[in-house]
Amino acid sequence: MNYVPNPTLQVGIIATRRPDLIEVMLHSFSTNLFSNFQLISAYVNIDPAFGSQDDETKVVDCIRSYFPKVEIRTPDTPSFGAAVKWTWSQFKPGLALHLEDDWELTEAIFPEDVTSKMTKGYSAVSLCGNHPKWHKRKEYLWVSEKRTKFPYLGYEKIPALGTQPKFIEGTFANKISSLMNPELDPEKQMLPSFGSVFSEIIKENKCGFLDKSGVKQYGVLNELGRDWREKRKITKIIKNGRSEWKPMHD
């Protein structure tokens, strides 16, 4: 992919009824990223989780203040898998940006930062989070799995994709969404342990990393959701392949 000044950008957002978080997220991305691209479409899924109907209305109003032209989905029941599947299925060919409502962008991102990494064999670029583990990564996102072919010994690195905030080629996102089971956690079902259907595609469309922070900090994103949940004593669990939010036990 060659760099084109001010390329077009599609935006997809996975959100819940948390108006305080999405305002911080959208303000940070509007300041540091959206203004450097030509936004052509936006798709937002708002799951009825955490807040009230009034909170959902506030989230909708906030979104429309940043995206005058936007398609918003408000399902009756929350499902992370269904949210990602629907949002990624909306993307058209070209550059897209997948976001979640509980991240804050701390560094300015320009088109050349992204397009320089979308080279042959790469169809996604993940924004590095503000955590030391991100700096342990190499050129692309991978998971370690026991070898299933000769010589069977040891582990091998298998390219992975994940659902953290990332740039992704629209056609690739579309293909992945068509394979997703909306009832299951999208990140978990893309792991090799769930089967090879995703792994074979991701292997040819790796996910690189974008980190402009230098040596004084770890990444370009601050995670807002963890602190928000801990203050309210909420924890995330995976049950039967689905993501669920439960009260923490004292």
pLDDT of residue 2: 42
Name which of 1, 4, 12, 74 is nearest 40 in CA terms: 12
Q: What is the pLDDT of residues 100-146, one digit of tens each?
A: 999 999 999 999 999 889 989 999 999 987 665 555 556 888 887 76
Q: What is the pLDDT of residues 190-203, one digit of tens each?
A: 988 887 789 999 99
| DSSP per residue, 192-233 | GGG-HHHHHHHHTSEEEEE---TTSSS-SEEE-HHHHHHHTT
Rounded to 5 degrees, φ, ψ at 168 are -150, 140
| Mean pLDDT, the chain, integer | 86
Is residue 118 within 8 Å of residue 125, measured between CB atoms?
yes
3 pLDDT above the threshold of 50: no
Calculate what percentage of the chain has a pLDDT beyond 90: 60
Please give the single-letter amino acid code of residue 223.
E
pLDDT of residue 217: 52
Lowest mean pLDDT among 97-106, 165-174, 221-230: 221-230
Calculate what percentage of the chain has a pLDDT beyond 70: 80
Name which of 99, 124, 82 is nearest 42 in CA terms: 99
> From the centroid of its chain, how far is CA 148?
29
Burial 188-219 (b: 16+ CB within 10 A, else e): bbbbbeeeeebbebbeebbbbbbbebeeeebb
53 pLDDT above the threshold of 70: yes
Q: What is the pLDDT of residues 206-217, one digit of tens each?
A: 999 888 755 545
Angle between helices 19-32 and 53-66 in degrees, nearest 10: 10
CATH 3.40.190.80 fits 8-247, yes or no: no
pLDDT of residue 243: 60
Q: What is the mean pLDDT of residues 221-250?
A: 67
Which tops the pLDDT comparison, 3 or 50?
50
Quick one: which H or E segment has residue 118?
A: none
Which tops the pLDDT comparison, 54 or 228?
54
